[in-house]
Structures are given as structure tokens and as C-alpha cells.
Structure 1
Amino acid sequence: MELIQHNRCFDGEQRIYAFNSRVLKGQTKFGIFLPPQALRGQACPVLLYLAGLTCTEETFSIKAHAQRLATQLGLILISPDTSPRGEQVAPGDSWDIGQGAGFYINATQAPWAEHYQMESFIADELYDLVIQNFPVQADAVGIFGHSMGGHGALTLAFKYPEKFKSVSAFAPICAPSQCPWGEKAFASYLGEDRNEWLKHDATALIQEKGALFPEILIDQGLKDQFYAQLNPALFKQACAQVGQSLTLREHEAYDHGYYFIQSFIDDHLQFHAVQLEA
């Protein structure tokens, strides 16, 4: 693991590391914000943020404006890249498939299966690397994300509740098996068997697994230009059916971008801080 960038930020440090991933079969990068408590060696809760389509390991750290409150709350923030990268990796032929669009699943179809193993990368390899190399409270790990990353956060939380203690999302793709983004990605990465798709669909997963978390927080803008892709009402209905407590906040005039995330990031950090202390 190589430290390739570090910047002082609110008395903590924003860093980028690169390492050769055995899961992705190539070099990958991730961002990490270490609050001053962690720099002093104090074990801290950790939040894993999954970004959306076209984003990188830097997008969240630059655009979300989360470090100030993370310092106050003593939270470590992790932001991986959104897909494998490199000349040897299948690039895709559009912005919503291929590099920058890994969808946080393990691909089973050629040419994607060779490198696009983002579920195992996040839930196993990166998860273990962070716990082993940084002052992390191993029993206080939360996950959240935006759009494609919101889909990833919800699905990974319900697949690995023993690893993630809290979960939230900004404008997540709640039912990818029922929207064009998800249908395109799942057909490419997983093939045409829709039963396989449901294993990576947050709405279907919650119906299968039931209530697993004390609370889920979702923020959604009502001027979101991609609202038709997101289906928050389906997720809300599924939560109600199984008794999963959900706070779904819908905001007039907010769109899909990072100005929306900046507006409510503090609420998410505070939400996770409370959940991770419980």
C-alpha cells in the first residue's frame, strides 16, 4: 500500500492510497480522511462511502464537504474508486457501464468477470485492509453512498449485516432490477437471469431478509433529474412490509448532485455517529 497524496484538513489528514488488489487484479486507489483523534492513534468509528456513476476515489473528499464534522465526531471516512481501472480492464462503451460504473457487484459475464468484482473488493478486501492498517473500531463500521453508491450501500449492508452496523443513502437506486440503469448493468454484468438480479436489488433484499437495522436514513431531492431511475417509493413500501424503520426525507427543489449532498451530509454523519455508538 503506497501513500500517494496527503493534505492537512480540519486538523486531520485527507489521504489517497494505491495498492495492488488481488480481487480486482490490478492497482486501485482509495481515499481516507483521518480525523485528529485517529492521527493520535485513537481507535475511531469508520464510515465507508460509495460514490455514484463516473466518480473516483477523490469525488467525495473534494465535493461532499464532510471533513469538518468528521473531525468533530471523530469519524474516519473511506472512499474507494467506483470500479477497477487500467488498460487491461474492459472499459465499456458508455458512461453508465464499465470503468466508473462497477455497481458494487461481482460480475459473472465476460468480459467483466475478470476484474469487476466490486462486491468482494468492498466487503472483504478493502474492509479488511482498513481494519488492519488504521486505528479503526472494528465493531463500529457504517456504510453510505450516493446514487449507484446508494444502491451499493443498501445492498451490501443487507448482505453483510455482521460487518456494517449502520446504513444511509443519498438518492439511491432502490430497485435496480426495475429501472434502465440497473437493467443495463445487470444484463451486462450478470446475464439475463432476472432471479440473479434480485440478489443485488435493495428492495428485493429487504423483502427477503427482513428488518436488520434500527433505522435507515435516505435523502432524496424532488427535482432529481434521475428520479424515475431511483424508485424510493418501492423501497419505502418494502420497508413497511417487513417492519424495517426508515426515514425517507424528500426535499423540494434539490437535484441529484453534490450540492444536494453538501446540504445534508452533516445529518448523515450525525446519524451514523449515533448508530455506531449504540
Structure 2
Amino acid sequence: MQSVEKHRSHGGTLEVFDHESAVTGTTMRFAVFLPREAEKADVPCLWYLSGLTCNWSNVMEKGGVLKAAAARGCAIIAPDTSPRGEGVPDDEAYDLGQGAGFYLTATQEPWSQHFQMDRYITEELQALVTESFPIAKDRQGIFGHSMGGHGAISLHLKHPELYRTCSAFAPITAPSQCPWGQKAFTAYLGSDNASWAQYDSAILALKQPSEAEILIDQGLDDPFLSEQLLHGIFEDACQTSGQAYALRRQAGYDHSYYFISTFMDDHLRHHMEGLTA
């Protein structure tokens, strides 16, 4: 790892690193916030997955997460949303290619060589982070926003032993049935939508519910709510399977980090209650 930025914040330390990834075949960048408690002992850890066009910086700079994490003695890991750089495939649209990895393993050209974001996060970066920093391996949770909310819920449901707690802000919860997800899944996975199910949170909640309660906050003034996020489908799946969830509909809030920062402390409380139970 190579440190590229380091900042003191709320008594802890935010540091940004580059490393060469064998999984994506690129240089990857991620951020780590360690609270002051990490100077003496291993601390709980939350993984934050960002949305379309974003990277590690969005939540660290605008999400209010540093103050909330410092107050609760919790580490935060913020990966990038996709591979990037020269030679990495891209698309002119914001919702495909660099910045839009959708937290899956692509099987279609030209994406399959580099776009392996689920394996990168759950395997390679997981090993790198837990070996390099004072993080309690058995006290990890995951959360995210929009595309990252899709990633957080789907990765939690597929790896509940790794990510014991889960929450999301305005997540894409049924990607195989919304325009964003259908476009990305067709490009990355091909037109046979049978392969899409393993990355669809609603389908996963129906077929393999976890023991954790999934907390979701959703702004009712979110312009993407009715067409892209499809929480009704996810709710139906949870109610059928018995997956515990709390979907809080917040009047007047949109899809932005103004919304996220408002409820960030609630999400940190949710995770810490689950990780210390």
C-alpha cells in the first residue's frame, strides 16, 4: 500500500491508500478512518459502499460519518465504486463503466477483465485491511447509498458471517427490475437474466434471509424513488421470507448527501448495537 493522503479528524485518522489489485488488474484507491481507540485495541469496522459516479471521498467529506464513527469508536472503510484508469473500459454514460461497478463479477467483454468489485471487496481488500489495521474481524458491518446500498444489502445477504450488520440509504433494492440495474446487468452479465438473481437484493432476501435487521432510510422527495429504487418489491420479499427490516420513509428528503448526513448517526447506532450485542 502507498499512502496518498492523511488527515486528523475528530481525534482519529483518515488515510487514503493506493494498492495494486490482482483481482481488478488495476491500481485501486480506498480510504480508512481509524478512531482514537484503534491506537490501543482492535475496533469494530463498517464498510461503506458509494453510489454511481462516487468514490471514497463522498461519504468522508459530506456524509457526517467521521464524527459519528469517532463518537462510537468505529473504523470506516470506503472502497472505490469501480476499477479506474487507462486501459479500463468505460462508457460515456454515468451509469455504466468507471464509477459504476455495481459490486458484481462481470462475465462479459470488455468488462470481465477488470470489473470484479464484489470479489475485490469481500476477498482481496478484506484481507488487506484486516491484516494491516487494528480491526476486529468478527465485528464488521456494511452500509451504502443508492448503487452502494444495493451492494451493501446484497453482499450482506451473501456473506452474513462476514458483515453481521447492514443498512442503506436510498438503495436500489430490485436491480433486475429497474432501468439502472437492467442496463448494468445486461452489459456486465449478459442478456440471460438467470445470472442476475445472485446480485438482486429482493431475490436474495426472499431466498436466503439473514438474521440481522436491515435498516433503510428513504427520502420521499427522491427523484429516483418510483422508477429506480423499487422498495415495494424488496418489502414483499422480506415479508414473505421473514427477513427483518426497518424501512423509514423520510418526508421532504431527496437522494443527496444532505439526506445521508442527516441520518448517519442513526445508522452508526444501528450497526454498533448489532456488533456489540
Q: TM-score, normalised by structure 1?
A: 0.98
Matched AA of 2:172: I
Matched AA of 2:58: T
CA deviations on 1:1-51 (whole Å, 9 max, x unpaired) are 01110001001011101100110101010011110111x131000000000
Matching of residue 26 in structure 1 with residue 26 in structure 2: yes
Q: Name the counterpart of 1:101.
A: 100
Q: Name the counterpart of 2:129.
A: 130
CA distance in 2, matches of 1:245, 1:104: 23
The 5 A counterparts of 1:168-207 are: 168-207=167-206
CA distance in 2, matches of 1:102, 1:213: 27
Deviation at 1:240, TM superposition (A): 0.6
Deviation at 1:161, TM superposition (A): 1.3
Note if contact 2:167-2:216 (Cα within 8 Å) is conserved in structure 1.
Answer: yes
Q: Name the counterpart of 1:36.
A: 36
CA distance in 2, matches of 1:24, 1:214: 30
CA distance in 1, matches of 2:41, 2:68: 17
CA distance in 1, matches of 2:182, 2:71: 41
* Aligned counterpart for 2:217 among listed residues 216, 219, 225: 219
CA distance in 1, matches of 2:7, 2:218: 31
Note if contact 2:166-2:212 (Cα within 8 Å) is conserved in structure 1.
Answer: no
Note if contact 1:51-1:82 (Cα within 8 Å) is conserved in structure 2.
Answer: yes
Deviation at 1:233, TM superposition (A): 1.2
SS in 1 for 2:28: strand
CA distance in 2, matches of 1:177, 1:128: 30
Note if contact 1:145-1:172 (Cα within 8 Å) is conserved in structure 2.
Answer: yes
CA distance in 2, matches of 1:261, 1:213: 25
CA distance in 2, matches of 1:60, 1:2: 21
SS in 2 for 1:49: strand
CA distance in 1, matches of 2:40, 2:63: 25
Q: TM-score, normalised by structure 2?
A: 0.98
SS in 1 for 2:53: coil
Matching of residue 244 in structure 1 with residue 243 in structure 2: yes
Q: Name the counterpart of 2:7.
A: 7
Note if contact 2:5-2:15 (Cα within 8 Å) is conserved in structure 1.
Answer: yes
Segment of structure 1 superposing worse, 65-74 or 42-51: 65-74
CA distance in 1, matches of 2:99, 2:156: 21
CA deviations on 1:200-248 (whole Å, 9 max, x unpaired) are 1000111111x31231100000100111200111111111101111100
Deviation at 1:93, TM superposition (A): 2.3
The 5 A counterparts of 1:249-260 are: 249-260=248-259
Note if contact 2:31-2:78 (Cα within 8 Å) is conserved in structure 1.
Answer: yes
CA distance in 2, matches of 1:141, 1:4: 25
Note if contact 1:166-1:213 (Cα within 8 Å) is conserved in structure 2.
Answer: no
CA RMSD of aligned residues (A): 0.7
Matched AA of 2:164: K
Q: Name the counterpart of 2:118.
A: 119
Matched AA of 2:222: D
SS in 2 for 1:96: coil
CA distance in 2, matches of 1:57, 1:21: 16
CA distance in 1, matches of 2:149, 2:40: 30
Q: Name the counterpart of 2:109.
A: 110
% identity of equivalent residues: 47
CA distance in 1, matches of 2:211, 2:259: 25
Gaps of at least 5 residues in structure 1 are none
Matched AA of 1:248: L
Matched AA of 1:215: E
Note if contact 2:205-2:238 (Cα within 8 Å) is conserved in structure 1.
Answer: yes
